[in-house]
Structure 1
Amino acid sequence: MGIRETAGEAYREALPALATSAVGGLLAGVVLGGMRAELRAIEGLLVLVPALLATRGSVFGSFGARISTGLHQGIVEPRVDLGDDRLRAAATAALANGVLVSLVAAVLTVTALTLLASPVAPLSVMLGVALIASVLSGAALTAVVLLVVFAGYRRGYNPDTFVGPVVTTTGDVAGVFFLLVAARAVLALVAAAGGGA
């Protein structure tokens, strides 16, 4: 197979994922635009959004690459098998890294905004939002990455070609959606406790 054929095949495999990525990015933007009340109620949350979304892409992009490499090397079977130690360890590591990095991002956000004398919600509120959003989006991304990578591989596609756009898109959409869910949950908890954010 020549260079032209190889490039053409790569574009054919990647184009649907890239088109989906564009649509997903717009959807994430619409959800974020609908979060005005939550962004006003939790001061500093908008500063946390890019960090949370970037960590979704980085952590779960790495997870997808690990699974793809395992498939190419033949050490991972193209099916979800919870008894597979490698698969379980990779998924657990991705979830743990996603949660840890999100919590660190929340602490850094509060610290930076405090040092800049900018209004910011209490650390407990930011940590609560980061924790809930990272756990929920991490679970969703783990499932999506595994299902999409395995399904694509079984159909003869190279997962390296489409895992990046799929993870980025899913990370943005799930990240913003679960950020909204987390913000509302934390605001409800704060209201139930009788405090203000």
Structure 2
Amino acid sequence: MAVVGGTGSGKSTLGRLAARFYDVTAGSVTIDGIDVRKIELSSLRSQVGIVPDEPFLFSLSIHDNIAYGRPDATRAEVIDAATAAGADEFVANLPDGYDTVVGERGYTLSGGQRQRIAIARALLMNPPILVLDDATSAIDVTVEQRIHGALKDRMQGRTTLIVAHRLSTISLADRVVLMEAGRVIADGTHASLLAAEPRYAAVLASLSTTDEEVPA
């Protein structure tokens, strides 16, 4: 599901509610019908993988950063996740490959490279719920298209919440919800909303555009 809306509409908050970075003050957030407040926090967060637009990397090797949630992962598993995230090519060209140590917060890498490492980290965890919060915003459009191809395969059999700030990311979703002032004001497919919901068209017009158009 893609979540679309203007700045401050509540898009990113949805994913954070699922992992209990916040708790609701009314109503409830449920997973498989169970209120998330009744689930042990460590258990809940092991089931929800979140990739933010500005991910945090540690002053460790790239291998260890990708395997942070699964320190027992093999090099082959790390490379597989990195390949799906479009990271393997640039990592292979680094002086020490996957053993290259990145600076605190990953300052030695570009924003797009940090995002790809974070996506690989989440894919390696293989959570049943994946939240992509503008997770490819700093990635080149051509690379992003390759990542989307791999993500479509990896999204099978899991719930994926895509906070969309780019038109191209909406194409990954089967369903789109439009948010305004913390509420869902429209729900449907991209095509149905584009045809019948002028507020959706207005939000799309305000999004950062790319050379790639969203399929109607």
TM value normalised by structure 1: 0.24
Larger radius of gyration: 1
Higher helix share: 1
Ranked by relative contact order (alpha carbons within 8 Å, sequence separation 6 or more), the top structure is 1
TM value normalised by structure 2: 0.22
